[in-house]
Every structure is written in structure tokens, then in C-alpha cells.
Structure 1
């Protein structure tokens, strides 16, 4: 019988058909000694087998395919209406008792009676099973607290297989399958978060690492991202252990995303950044170089340029890797 739950500490790239590429790349960091210096938050994956069990238990096999076959691809309203019907079927379905119990056990083992929040992220199993180009199609929920929010968020991730964007991008796809990653939450809302690229994202120049970010949780809006701090690290100097930060650009960082003080703890609100924080860089030199070194380790391991998503936890002040994306799939190692 397939596992419904896999701990990140046991996952490798070989598990991508069960956990999706997002979870597989994170698990690889736990399980491979060459990546051991990179910090990733602990967690577990709800597998593709678990999703299939959920669908079969609720007798939804083939139902979604029938719905999707009725989409008028030239009509956005048709896509939206059928997508909602598909999602509603999942949200109205019941998680089987055996799966419910295993998720609950993994949840309790992970938190060990603490009241920490969770990050719950979709990790779709794509036809190209190592594809990571799924941004904004599938749901992510941050600072999830309590069993009720946990199970609701898991079902919403399942349902996001049929998001409007997923249907627009690939309306003819059959056998849609998804995994869900559950991790301890990194509280970047009172710290900072951002991205890094092991080649320049604009020019493709391979000798620099581009690190950027803002205070709080990262924005998705491209215009707002222009207000971020930016740092350029020169790779040849980094490998020699000499001064390698060749440029720092202070962004305006006029706004930041934080969690609501009360009510729905998963909801983010935008607020103005204080003048003190606007005038400060989000990272010190040591932190910039830590992220840059993570990029080099991953680039060497996968033999591919990398894009990284990182965050700093406000409690521990530690940096964490949230996602790692090899840009050249064909050069990925096989296991």
C-alpha cells in the first residue's frame, strides 16, 4: 500500500511522482549530505496516493474529467463556472477516516503540543514530474493554526488543481494529481523574505548571484517588488573567500505584508513600513553571503542555474530556504 504521509526528512527527488517537485526538492535537502548546510523547516507531505484515495472514497473518479470535457475553451466564463463546480465537489467531500487519522498524527508529531503556525503549500504532480513552473496556479496557506484550519487548507489545496489559471493553462489535461506540503511556519511577517538567483535574472550573466527581498511576507505584485533591496554577489570572489558583495541597492520598501492581529490568522494585510525599517537593509553581509552560498551549493549539486525563495524567522533570526528551483530540468541528476 502506498504511503499517505511522508516526512520531508525521508523524501528524495525519486519520490517526485508521489510528492510533486516542490516537496521533492525540499526533501532532497534533508536527505542528501551535500546539501546539509542549507536550513529548511521540518514538515511532511500528504502524497498523491492520499489524494487519489480521497477522490476514490468520495466516488469522484472521472467526475472532474466529465466536467472539464464540457469547457468551452474560448469562453472565460465557461472555464470559471466549471472550475468552481470542480472545486466545490472537492470542498464538499469528506476526508476518509484512515487518511484523516494519519494527517492528524503527523500534525501532532510535527508540532508536539506547541501552538506554532503551519505553512501549507500545494505541490502538484505534473506530467513533467520535475516541473516547478506552477507559480500562482495552486494554493498556499500561511500561519495555519489548529486542526480545523489544517484540514480545510488541505482540501483547498486539493481543490486548487481546478483553479481558473490551471484550467486556462491546460484545459485538456486528464488525471490531475496533487500533493500537499505541511511545514512549520517561518514567521517572516516581522522579519523579511525574498528571492535569489544564481545567474542574473535579467541578463543571464552567470558570474553573479542576485539576492533581493523586502520586510515582511513577499509581495506577488511585480510593481511592488521593484521597491525591494537588492544585492549582487560576485561568484569568483565568493569561492575564494574574499569580499564578494559588489553592489547593494536600498529599496524604498514602502509597504509590507503582515498577519492580522486577530480573527483569521491566515489573512495577510498590507501596511506602511516604518521610516526606521525603510532606511535599513533587510539583510546584513553575513546573511547575504549565507543565501549566496546556498545558491552555489544547489547550483553545483543540480548542475543548473537556480532560483531560490528564502525567509527569515523573526523569533530565531535564522534564515530558511522555502523553495529551490533548478532552471534547467534536462540537466537534473537522476537517482
Structure 2
């Protein structure tokens, strides 16, 4: 009897069954049969096999009719649209062979009995035998039907899945990839629905989708059924978890970004067909994260287990049941973009001009493109899309793919990093900005713009066609050096971009940059929120900190995640985080800052750095910085974070700051904590031995040190010729510090601009015995080669 080959239950399948049930269903079977014992929950279901599909074709004599239509298309006697429509109509008018229909009805009744219901609500999904392969995603090529209940409705949904093998986009994609249309069979999966309509759902990757950084899990989610996230109909919440420390029992959630989540997909009011509807979310839903920290960590653990099982980065869909509160994995497939990239090269893009920022969103890819806007809101009008334009629309679906490959860049109103526009843009190598909110309403066709995804997580659309350059950095055959080569990283957004560079940590991460870009609020305004006199600032803080009962927690939470993301990019190499070093005028520019900052004639030499940390004026704000550092190291687990004290003028001041750090739970040696000091003023040089007896290391800030030793404003155009890090007075000072540091077994590095710009300065530092150089990322390879040459000469 052939009938048993028509239906196979998921728990009897594995990844060896792709030819029988397609990639999607084989993977579901692999998850259930291989990983259920490790606690991963997958809804039960069954698959209609490729044999069932071919029986359907044979019973209705469809194959020769399909061949006739495809031949007419390939010979350009018939359009793609007419070809697809005609073939789909053939399926819609065809009947199931009796034994196949009986098998489907019986399996559906068995599934309902397993869940102890009369008619189970199911998701009926297409699963092609050439789908979800490591080198071809076929993202969204075939149809899925949700909330299908009743055996008649299941049969109809299966027929519509068969027909969807010949959507216009599926025909076009197979043509492009070189797949024989009639060699690809279609299996159908009938899976019990998770009641995510009453909770939430989303997508998860076990790799960073933009940079290929392998040590994180990226999770996106929104309220309701997960189709809105996949389609890009909403801008979802986004979470990033660092995998290595997750496995050691820490809680390394290094990113939590709240999406707008304006809509959700839920069950409709009527039973039977077409019972899915889109409704607006409530204000409360928009302000809340869709899952808790514990649930984020649970999903991330599952991602690690699934990735380990498959032995490759994975793309997964998850859902939460609103009735039981349980989490489920509903799909898993190989990630098809970053895992296919060639190692050994790094392409970087850089704007050569400044421009007006028109809008921002999530950056997809890391490239820059310029062109004229082509604003198209419907697939009915995609023939208007011009080659090389910047496509602007609300969202994309698979029907857009034929034109997406012809444009220079894509901008959408909605979507997150895992939406359709993002997935296809990555696969095509086209930069995109998604989730802008209002691009289609604020931009107009023929407007000159430049799309930049080269500035971190945030993509920016600039007015005008700006000049930019693309640089290929070859990472092969870079020599090892005794001198540690580290990086200066300005922001968490940029950290992952440079993970492939051959460096040994981060020599300077500026806390004030994180505060300025992620937090934006003066810490003392959060400490004194209830008593703020500036009511405009009070209202702004109220809106920014929604969801935080204690406004101080907003500062600690966001700061520790920003530091954590930077620390993750180089773990376990050291990451030196400089405590806040805003000048008074810069602090005043933070939200609520003017109430706590006075005017200074010379902020550069004013109330900054170490002096703030023990001052009654800022001590409570500094305590928040300490809490964030402590959480990064002890809760997240990033013990590679080294604290650095800036602008420490006196030895007695060093003692006071170290005591304040102890009072805030940061004591040298506890959890391997090291505390460095910036060497940027003459006092640090003259009293280097005393500072070396207190701190674990030095980091020379060559710009400030040169400025103060030579008495030259580093920003003065008139005195530019006098500002020189290679001046004998400066090099003598650096040599003295290195000697003093090494006398007491302390490390000393440099984090100024000098080594990046001046090869002779880098050569001097090697001769002087510097332990490390922290460079701008784009000069790492060049300087590392120079350092290797200098070290070779010294040892010759």
C-alpha cells in the first residue's frame, strides 16, 4: 500500500528526509526527534510527503499542462504573471485522490485527539524539497495559512499550498537559482497552532545578522502571531544575548530595544476560513517588552542547543502561548547570508562628506549607496521602479523580490532585523534601512539621497548624493606582534562591525559616548527626578524612561547593556572602559543637565574626570556608573572589563576615587577587577611611580598629554604646526611613564590618535617598550604590520 507514504508525523522525521517532506518539515522533525529530550518544545503535527504531491499531480494530469505553460514563459510567448496565474488555477480546480484525502482527514483527526480537542487549530505551511537549504533560503516563496480548523478547511489549505509552488515570485526565484520547476516537489506541514495571538511571537538568529559576529543570539518579537514580524508589517522589539557567558550561567542580555509594535495579527471572530485579522495594539502593549528577561534567556539557550545540534548558524521562529505561558520553537532553518560569507576580507565603507540626516532606522548590511528615491507603495506599481534607485515603500513581501535585486538600496517604514526586506536585502547584498516609521510619507520620488549603513546599528538617510569610499581590508597573513594591538571603539553600535580584526581587546571605550547616544539624560536629573525644576526636562525624562519605576534604573540598565555589547565584541580580551569624562558644558547639554552644571571659563581644565566622582555635586550620579560596571562584570559575566579613571590630578585624589569605587562595590582584585588611570596631564608623568603603586595600569592619552606639556590647544588651527606627539618633550614624558610602570609590574598602553596617523610615532613607542597600542579600527592592519617590522628590526 502506498498510503503510508502520504503522511509522516513530525516525530518520525529528521534532516535526512528533505527529499520526502521538504526542508521546513524535515527540520521540524529533527527538532522534535533530536532535541525534545533537551527541553525544546515544538508543536506536534504531520507532513504530506512529496509522494502525496506527485500523486496529486498524476491524478489530475497536471504535469504536462504545467510544462506547456512554463515552455511558453521560457520562450517569451507568455508573461510571468499569466504563467503563474494559469498554473495556480489548474491546482485550484484539481481534486485530491480519494486515498490521499482519506489519509489527510484521518491524520487531522488524530492530531486533534492528541490535543484533546474536536478540531485543532493548525498552521498549514508549504515545505518545498529545495527549501531552507544552507545556500538558498527561498524566503517566503510559498504560502502559509494560519488558524485552519476542520478537515475540509485543512484539505483546502493543502491545495492552496500546492498551488503556491507556482507563485510568480517562486517561479522567478527557481529560474534565477537554476532549479528545475518539476523536480521540486512540495510537502505540506500541518502543525498545531501556538496561541501566540494571545501573547507574542518572533524570529531568532544564532548569529548577528548584520556583521556575522558568531557569539550572539538575536531575537525579535512582537505581539500576536509571528507573521507580522516575518513580513515586516511591524517594527518589533529586539534583544541580543551573548552566548558564551549564557552557557556559564550569567545573564548576558547585551541589548534590549523597544519596537513600536503598532499592530498585531490575531484570530478572527468567525470560525472556519479567513479567521486571521490585523488589529491595532494598545498603548500599554506598545510600551511593554513582549517577553521577560527570563524568557529572552530561555530562547537564547534554545538557540545555542539548536545551533550546536545542526552545527551551523540557524534562523528560527518562536512563539509564546497566551493560554499556558509556554514558549515554543515553530521553525528552524540554516542561516543563509553571513554563514556563506568568505572569511579573510573585510569591506568597509566611509562617507567623505557630511550631510543633512533626513531619517533614521535599523541598518541592514554595512554598505553605503546613493541614488534617486523611487517611492512605490504597492506591487501593482513595481514596474515604475528604476534600476539603481533607492526604493522607498512601507514594507516588502516576496512579490517585491524581482525589483529589489535591481535597486541600489531599500528604505521601509516598518520592519525589524528579521523582516522580509532585511533578509532579502542581506541575501542580495543591498544596503537597507528598515523601521524608519515614515519614510514613505516624508520622501518623494526623484529626491537625491545617500543611504548609509556604515555607521553602526542605526542606518541614516542623508539629503543629496554624497561622496563615499569602499575599502577592502585583507585579513590574511597579518603578522603577530609582541606589542598588543587594540582598538578604540566609540559606540556599542560599532563594536560588532570590527570583530574580525586581529586585535587583542579594546584599549578605550568612552562611557560618555554611551551616555550621550543611548541614555541622553544627566544622571543627577534621574537621581533628583521628583524634584526637577525644569518641567520640560521632567516631561522628556518621563517619556524616555517609561517602564522604569525607579528612574535611576533607566541609567544603570542602558549603560550596562551598552558596555556589555562592547565587552562582548572582544571577550575574553580586555576591554578598558573609561569612566565618564564629560566637561561641564557637555554635561549641561544632557537632558536636565543645566540644573546641575555651572558655567566655566575653561571646561577643559575644569570640573571633570576624577574630581567629580567624590564631589557631593556628582557623587550620586557616579554611583550609577559604578552600579552599571558592577552589573556588567558580575551579573552579565564580563570580567574582561577594566575600569579606567580619567583626569586624575593628584595622588591623594587617586586614593579618594579608589575609596569611592570600593564603597560602590568595585574593589581591585575582587572578581579580578583591574583599575587603570589615564596618563594625560604632567602630574601623572612626574608622579608616575606613586600612581603605579595605586593603579593596575596606565593608558596614555597622547592628545591631552601633548596639549598640556607643550601648552598648545589641540583644536587651534593657528598652532597646528606646534602640536606634535613626536616632540622630544612628549616622547621623554612617555618614556618616563613606561619605565615607572614597568618598575612596578604595571601595564602601560596608549590610546591617542598619534600611532594611527604617524608611523614614526608608532615606531618610537615600540622602541620605548609600550605594552599596547589602541588604534582607530581602520588603521589596525596598517599599524600592526608596521609594528611587526619595527619589532623584527629591534630583535635582529
Same fold (TM over 0.5): yes
Residues in 2 aligned to 1:221 and 1:110: alpha-carbon distance in whole angstroms:
26
Corresponding residue of 1:85: 86
Residues in 2 aligned to 1:128 and 1:62: alpha-carbon distance in whole angstroms:
28
Corresponding residue of 1:198: 206
Corresponding residue of 2:154: 150
| Equivalent residues of 1:210, 1:232 under 8 A apart | yes
Change in CA separation of 1:203 and 1:288 when aligned onto 2, cut-off 3 Å = same
The match for 2:323 among 315, 323, 327 is 315
Q: How far off its partner does 1:277 sit?
A: 1.2
The match for 1:52 among 51, 54, 68 is 54
Matches within 5 A, 1:117-156: 117-126=121-130, 133-156=137-160
Change in CA separation of 1:93 and 1:42 when aligned onto 2, cut-off 3 Å = same
In the alignment, does 2:25 pair up with 1:17? Answer: no
Q: How far off its partner does 1:262 sit?
A: 2.3
Q: How far off its partner does 1:17 sit?
A: 0.3
The match for 1:289 among 262, 287, 297 is 297
SS at match of 2:332: strand
Deviation string, structure 1 residues 236-268 (Cα, Å, up to 9, x no partner): 210110121122112221221223212655343
Residues in 2 aligned to 1:70 and 1:252: alpha-carbon distance in whole angstroms:
46
Q: How far off its partner does 1:73 sit?
A: 7.3
Q: How far off its partner does 1:284 sit?
A: 0.8
| Equivalent residues of 2:111, 2:120 under 8 A apart | no
TM-score, structure 1 as length reference: 0.91
The match for 2:219 among 187, 211, 215 is 211
| Equivalent residues of 1:21, 1:131 under 8 A apart | no
Residues in 1 aligned to 2:132 and 2:306: alpha-carbon distance in whole angstroms:
21
Deviation string, structure 1 residues 161-193 (Cα, Å, up to 9, x no partner): 111101112246333310000011112112101
Instruction: Give the superposed CA RMSD.
Output: 2.3
Change in CA separation of 1:131 and 1:161 when aligned onto 2, cut-off 3 Å = farther
Corresponding residue of 2:164: 160
Residues in 2 aligned to 1:247 and 1:67: alpha-carbon distance in whole angstroms:
50
Matches within 5 A, 1:297-308: 297-308=305-316
Corresponding residue of 2:41: 39
Q: How far off its partner does 1:127 sit?
A: 8.3
SS at match of 1:277: helix
Change in CA separation of 1:163 and 1:13 when aligned onto 2, cut-off 3 Å = same
Change in CA separation of 1:265 and 1:86 when aligned onto 2, cut-off 3 Å = closer
Q: How far off its partner does 1:235 sit?
A: 1.2
Residues in 2 aligned to 1:129 and 1:255: alpha-carbon distance in whole angstroms:
31
SS at match of 2:62: coil
Residues in 1 aligned to 2:191 and 2:284: alpha-carbon distance in whole angstroms:
32
Q: How far off its partner does 1:115 sit?
A: 2.9
SS at match of 1:93: coil
Residues in 1 aligned to 2:335 and 2:37: alpha-carbon distance in whole angstroms:
18
Q: How far off its partner does 1:310 sit?
A: 0.6
Change in CA separation of 1:317 and 1:266 when aligned onto 2, cut-off 3 Å = farther
Change in CA separation of 1:328 and 1:223 when aligned onto 2, cut-off 3 Å = closer
Deviation string, structure 1 residues 287-323 (Cα, Å, up to 9, x no partner): 1111101110111112211111111111121111111
| Equivalent residues of 1:200, 1:209 under 8 A apart | yes
Deviation string, structure 1 residues 106-126 (Cα, Å, up to 9, x no partner): 110000252331100000011
Corresponding residue of 1:95: 96
TM-score, structure 2 as length reference: 0.39
The match for 2:65 among 63, 66, 69 is 63
Residues in 2 aligned to 1:101 and 1:86: alpha-carbon distance in whole angstroms:
25
SS at match of 1:240: coil
Range 152-161 or range 299-308, more displaced: 299-308
Q: How far off its partner does 1:223 sit?
A: 5.6
| Equivalent residues of 1:29, 1:36 under 8 A apart | no
Change in CA separation of 1:224 and 1:86 when aligned onto 2, cut-off 3 Å = closer
| Equivalent residues of 1:73, 1:79 under 8 A apart | no
In the alignment, does 2:258 pair up with 1:250? Answer: yes
Residues in 2 aligned to 1:286 and 1:268: alpha-carbon distance in whole angstroms:
30
The match for 1:239 among 247, 257, 260 is 247
Change in CA separation of 1:221 and 1:37 when aligned onto 2, cut-off 3 Å = closer
SS at match of 2:240: strand
Residues in 1 aligned to 2:146 and 2:46: alpha-carbon distance in whole angstroms:
15
> Structure 1: where are the runs of 5+ without partners?
none
Residues in 1 aligned to 2:7 and 2:15: alpha-carbon distance in whole angstroms:
16
Range 62-71 or range 108-117, more displaced: 108-117
| Equivalent residues of 2:54, 2:185 under 8 A apart | yes
Change in CA separation of 1:256 and 1:41 when aligned onto 2, cut-off 3 Å = same
Structure with higher Rg: it is 2
| Equivalent residues of 1:304, 1:328 under 8 A apart | no
| Equivalent residues of 1:72, 1:79 under 8 A apart | no
Residues in 1 aligned to 2:231 and 2:44: alpha-carbon distance in whole angstroms:
30
Range 146-155 or range 244-253, more displaced: 244-253
In the alignment, does 2:282 pair up with 1:278? Answer: no
SS at match of 2:5: coil
Range 58-67 or range 275-284, more displaced: 58-67
